[in-house]
Structure formats: structure tokens, C-alpha cells
Amino acid sequence: MVLQTSGNADWWRGAVVYQVYPRSFQDTNGDGLGDLKGITRKLPYIASLGVDAIWLSPFFKSPMADMGYDVSDYCDVDPIFGTIADFDEMMVAAKALGIKVIIDQVISHTADVHPWFVESRSSRTNPKADWYVWADPKPDGTAPNNWLSIFGGPGWEWDGVRRQYYQHNFLTSQPDLNFHNVVVQDALLKTAKFWLDRGVDGFRLDTVNYYFCDKLLRDNPPHEPDASDGGLDAPDTNPYGMQNHLYDKTQPENTVFLQRFRALLDRYERRATVGEVGDGARSLKTVAAYTTGGDKLHMCYTFDLLGPEFTASHIRGCVDAFQKVVTDGWVCWAFSNHDVERHASRFARTEAERPDVAKLAISVLSALRGSICLYQGEELGLPEAELSFEDLRDPYGIRFWPAFKGRDGCRTPMPWEAAKAHAGFTTADKSWLPVPYEQAALSVDVQESDQGSVLHHYRQALAFRKAHPALLDGAMTFLETDQDLLVFTRKKGAETLLFVFNLTREPAEFALPKGMVLGAPVAMPGASGVAAGGVVRLAALDAFCGMVS
């Protein structure tokens, strides 16, 4: 089955993308796991939010050691999610609702049961012998260098048949492909073409700066104590952050492969790519390299706004730095995804203020220049789930427990109906992860009946964004202030909007710059700030929007 995509070629610029984590979205066959039919069933709900596209986390055939980010067949659907026919059905339904579909491509590594790796590890002389990163041990039998795995321990695993080590940036069961081999690149591009021919509108490229490693396998230097080029990619409990990752990722050859990937997409109409860049303090420079020139990625996102800070200075610093460094590229901003603690818990100081923080966060995100990505459940203001060790499924959390609890707390099932078992996610006796009571209490059906809910605010905020062209791709200029306020204008054509966000817990005032005159008030959802006498007055966790004359 082949579907044609339609619409504006630059639809991705300023788009709102909704991330679906298939395992946790909706189960239709009663096995306790979400599936593709469940996504199809809930597409009208997604469309009701006012988003432009969905991003599906991996649904490919996989042993599921890393919840699908260990692929064993790039061109097939894992049976737990359904079939290719189910995928095609979902695509038809999405297109009918005007929703673009972006799928996750995890091509830096495969599962160790992938046929490519099975053949590669069988000998040093087979046709795929150099499809993965293999290296001889040091004379004393230790690993080739000091590279580490993000999931703990060395970044190398010994194979007794080849009597060599293979590289893995993540689990030992996730061997890294050798992108220095052009034949490997060709094979991966062929798998991308398979999905392009089925009508997907683009790809989210997982760990996009991890594709190449240093050919000479040089040791990484230590992370300098006064720098910030390592620890942003891993929790403080993980020694991965103790290295400056100069050689195990972000190699210059990567841009050439991205040009090849873009050339493939350009053979189709209206396709887009978004890359995940984890590169510490170098992330913005990497984004610039990967998105400039119009011949590589369409946009990237980093981890800059996925940390604990929800302050005016931090957000301004991230956005301002991006605009200065990435002059002709594009960014996709997000506060949450499947790898980090949910931002309702990260940003809120108390349980009581979570709804207000969740509403303010989407108001801020909707006003930023760039595309934005929402993670399923954040539109409900879901907090991070507190799980016991016995409930964990994430190998990352199991490895570093209890200092780091892993990613399962943000991956619990979507709560649809509060009164049903597992909040309506599944009819199974047991769900793959539990649905905590506090999340079930925030279910979709409860919030649908409350006009003041976080869910309704999300819909209003996204509708507001779409109603103002300046917010999609207009210019963004920060205004100076001596207070902890986030103040900027968005301008396109004759429309100039002034935004003032008070992210503090105290009332605040902002004096308009000399010569600035506001016209008619702009009714931004949830904003109660008022302007009078040249001063904008805001309550705690409040916002203001005005039209500049």
C-alpha cells in the first residue's frame, strides 16, 4: 500500500507534533500492551488537540530489551503492536484527519538478534563482517579504549567467536553499526525508503549524532570540572558524564550521511526529519551543523529544555543561544518526552500548583519560535509516576537504581477513563506498567467535563498559536528586563505580539519600553495579566499578550 502525502512543503516549520509511545497509549487486544489499532482508535482525540503531526516511538520487530529501541527488523511491525496492515489502516485514518505521521528511526544500532549482526559476529570474513564496529583487544585483553555506555559500564562487549570487542553506546544487546561502511548506509537508506513508499511524512532520527565514531578509536579525555560538555547527556549518578565525548560520537563524517538521507527524502514531496541531538554543551553547534544549508536535517531538538529549570533566565538563555548559533536552521522545542521525568513534576514545587504550571508551560512553549513537540499525557498535566523497583521495566533504571529510577515513571499508560480498571488503557488483568491512582484521577474523561482543565487549556493554547501567523515562523526578539520575567515579541508582516511570562511565585510588573504602544488586548488563553499606564501587571505563574501598535 502506498499513500501520498499532501499539503505545504514547509508544514513542519512551526508545526505541533504529538509524541505517541505505542506501548502505553491504548490496548485493543487485552494483552496489557498498547498497539497500532489503539492509536487508530484514538486518532480523533489526537486531532481534537489541534496538532499537526504524530511521532510514533518504535513499533518495529524487536526483542524489546530497550522497549523497541533495539530493532531486529526495520521493515516489519512487531506482533505486540500488530501488523503492517494495522499500520496501513492507521495511516489512512491519520491522513483522513489531516494528521501527518512521523516514525522513529533507530539506526545508530540494532538488536543483537538482527540478522545483520548474527552474520557479522559469525566470523571475521563473512560478507557483513565490518557492518558493525569491531576492534581487537589491547595486549592485556581489555577493551580497545575508555569509551563508556550510557546504560552503564564499558562501551565495549567481548565476543568469543570473533575474539574481538564490539561497540555499544547503550545495552550490550544493542551493537553499533559501522557507518564508515557505505554499504551499511545504503542498507539503512533502503529501510527508510520502505516507509517513505508507505506514505510516512517524515522521520524522527534517534541519537542522530551517534552514527559515526572515531576511526582511530582514540580515548575520550576527561570531562573538565568547569565545563558542561558531558553531564547533560546522563544523570549525575552515571560515570558517562565524566568524559568529554570527543571521539565516540558527533564525528564530522556524520554530516555527509545526513546529506545522503536528505537527498532520499527530497525525492519525495513534503517530507521532514527531526533529529535528536544529545551532545552536552556542544548541542547547539551540532544542531547548527546538522540543520544549516537546507541539505541535511529539517530540524533538531536537544535536551536544553528537558532539565529541571523552569525559569525565565534559563528559557531565554536556551532560545537566545540557539538563535545566535543556528542562524539558518530550525529547532523543535519540548518540555517532556519518553526519556525524562514529566515536566509537571520537574517544574511544579507542590502538587497543588501542577495544573497552573502545566498550563503556563504550554502557553510558553506555544509562543516560542520553532516547532514544538508534546508528549502523550502532558496535555492532562500528568505527574511522574512513583513506581517500586519490582514494577520497573527500563534497563537503564534497573541498572542505576536507586540513585536513578529510570524512565518508566514517564512511560506509564495513558489514562482514558477514571472509573475503569487501568484507567481504560487495557482490559487485561495486568498492564505492562501500572497506572497510579493520581494519574487515573486526571484521565481524559474527567478533564473533558471540566472546562478549566489542563486538557482544555492545551486545546485553547494550540488554537491560539495557529490563529497567529507570527507564532508559526515569525521573528522573535527578547526585551531587556531587570526582573525574572520572560519577555519577547513575535513579529510577522503587520502583526507584532508582545509576550510577558511570570514564571515566579510572586506578582510582578513589567514597564513597557519607551515608545512601545499596545493596541487592542489579545485574549491569550489563561493569561490574566493586564496593561495600564505603560505597565504590565501579572499574578504569580501568569502571562500577558498584547498587540504592539
User: What residues act catalytically?
Assistant: 206, 276
CB 385 within 8 A of CB 393: no
Nearest CA to 529 among 545, 511, 515, 549? 545
Cα distance between residue 367 and residue 472, in whole Å: 9
Per DSSP, the three-state class of 487 is strand
Q: At what angle do helices 254-265 and 283-291 cross, to 10 degrees?
A: 40
Report the alpha-carbon distance of residue 457 to residue 195 in Å, rounded: 35
Phi and psi torsions of 146, nearest 5°: -95, 15
DSSP notation for 364-391: HHHHSSSEEEEETTGGGTPPPP---GGG
Report strand pairing: 100-105 vs 53-56. parallel
Residue at 228: amino acid letter: S
How far apart are alpha carbons 181 and 131 in whole angstroms?
Answer: 7
Among residues 179, 184, 230, the alpha carbon closest in space to that of 208 is found at 179
Phi, psi of 537 (to 5 degrees): -115, 130
Picking from 87, 92, 159, 71, the residue whose alpha carbon sits closest to that of residue 123 is 159
**Is the Cβ–Cβ distance between 291 and 330 less than 8 Å?**
yes
DSSP letter string, 319-338: HHHHHHH-SS--BEE-S--T
The secondary structure element, H or E, covering residue 260 is: helix 254-265
Dist. CA 438–CA 412, nearest whole Å: 12
Burial label, 189 (beta-carbon count in 10 A; 0-12, 13-18, 19+): middle
Rounded Cα–Cα distance for residues 413 and 437 (Å): 12
